[in-house]
Homo-oligomer: A and B are copies of this chain.
Amino acid sequence: MNDYTLKQLVDKNFDYYKNGEVANYIPALAEVSPKQLGIAVYDLTSNELMKAGDVDVRFAIESMSKVPVLLLAIKDCGIKKVFETINTEPTGFAFNSIMNMEINHRKHPMNPFVNAGAIATTSLISGKDANEKFERILSFMKQICDDTDITLNKEIYLSESKTGDINRSLAYYMKGNQMIDEEVSETLETYFKQCSVNVTATGIAKLAAVLANKGIAPWNNQRIISEESATIVKSIMTTAGLYDESGEFSVHVGVPAKSGVGGGLMAAIPNSYGIGVFSPALDKFGNSAAGIQLLKDTVQELDADIFQ
């Protein structure tokens, strides 16, 4: 695999954007051009980053933020505290379902990658107020993506906050059932902000490379997260990274992954590759239409399905 092969895969899969539509629940996402596709692959063996297509275009991280915020929560509170607060089971329900907590008389959100669990994760981030919490998240994202240009997209943040009533409902449900301790409005402000950060496919590939590399940044050999947390997070990405399509994705692609409605996809293949993909048109499940196809082809080309 090299940049040229990767470029061929991008060209082959480009037109799949026609099978999707860009997220339209907020204007700032609706205006993004669907005709974009890019992939960055960090190869741990050669310690090289391969790229093709729109890998340096900035886009909203959205649900992919659940991965670095979970990692930071573990750094802040420890694995025990985090997983006493949030379970690690796939749900079989949509990402924004509130029913799955009530239906099984759960005392905890089911996993950190559905919205309820992600909000509970955010509530565990240290900081004296929403501002400090977010600054700590932003700083951690810059470090783990090796990208100092990550910034808050205020327009997206304001839209997320304005349209975020289902997330408010989830948060108050958890607060009312003693599933989270922190102030709801502060937690949600932080959560909406963490979703509204601008990243690139290159940065996401680097984040994924840290996960793939047992927690050590391969570009400078510094440990960013513990090996145990890297292992656990890849496991949860496999069972619950793509919401109620996690099982099907796992069957067809077979790598730990996480998607976002900004059109991003992250895949962390243990000891081999960190991958970042971007293409904003989404399929009916909210995953990047062309991105999924490109990721599938790339994994196949790399012979990297972890269940093979």
Interface residues of A (CB under 8 A from B): 83, 87-93, 97-100, 102-104, 110-111, 164-166, 168-173, 175-177, 184, 214, 227, 231-232, 234-236, 238-240, 244-248, 250-251, 254, 256, 270-271, 305-308
Contact = CB atoms under 8 A, between A and B. Distances in A.
Nearest to A243: B89
Contacts of A239: 90, 238-239, 246-247, 250
Contacts of A110: 92
Dominant SS at the A interface? helix
Contacts of A170: 169
Contact of A172 (B87, B90, B165): B165
A298 to B, nearest CB: 17
A162 to B, nearest CB: 11
B89 A305 contact: no
A241 B227 CA distance: 25
Contacts of A93: 92, 104
Contacts of A175: 165
Contact of A165 (B102, B184, B305): B184
16 contacts: A88-B248, A90-B90, A90-B246, A98-B102, A99-B99, A99-B102, A165-B172, A165-B176, A168-B169, A231-B254, A231-B305, A234-B307, A236-B247, A236-B251, A239-B239, A239-B250
Given A165-B172, A166-B173, A177-B166, A250 B231 contact: no
A184 B172 CA distance: 13
Contacts of A103: 99, 103
A97 B99 CA distance: 9
Given A83-B251, A91-B92, A165-B175, 14 more contacts: A87-B247, A88-B250, A90-B92, A90-B247, A98-B98, A98-B173, A165-B176, A166-B177, A168-B169, A168-B172, A169-B173, A172-B172, A232-B251, A238-B250
A168 B89 CA distance: 27
Nearest to A240: B247
Contact of A308 (B87, B244, B270): B270
Contacts of A91: 90, 92
